[in-house]
Structures are given as structure tokens and as C-alpha cells.
Amino acid sequence: AAKLQDDNRALDRLTKSKEAALLEAERTVQLALAKASLVDDLQNKNQELMKQIEICQ
């Protein structure tokens, strides 16, 4: 019975560790998506500015 309890505790620790890793990965993905969106916005603004420069020349 004690061995079974130890196994259950080890499994519980492993599960919690995996859950924490998944949460961390999710945060990383969300941050990457936010950065990609920002880059997209900046590229669009850059294109607009380039067009304005062409018009001014």
C-alpha cells in the first residue's frame, strides 16, 4: 500500500509539472502571437509611409 501511495504521489508531481509546462508553453505562444500581430501592424504602417514618400517625391 505504501508503494502505491508513493507511486500516486510521484504521478501527481509529474502531472502538476506537465500542467505547469503546458501553461508556460501557452503563455509563450500567446506572447509570440502578440508580437507577430505587432510586427504585422508595423509592416503595414511602413508600407503606408513608403507610399507617402513616393507621393512626396
Residue 2 corresponds to which cell in the numbers above?
A: 505504501
pLDDT at 26: 99
pLDDT at 52: 96
CA distances to 15, 17, 25, 26, 27 from 21, in Å: 10, 6, 6, 9, 10
Predicted structure pTM score: 0.69
Kindly report, residue by residue over 1-57, the tens digit of the pLDDT.
998 999 999 999 999 999 999 999 999 999 999 999 999 999 999 999 999 999 998
Domains: count for the chain: 1
d(CA 46, CA 9): 55
What range does the domain containing 53 cover? 1-57
pLDDT at 44: 98
d(CA 23, CA 35): 18
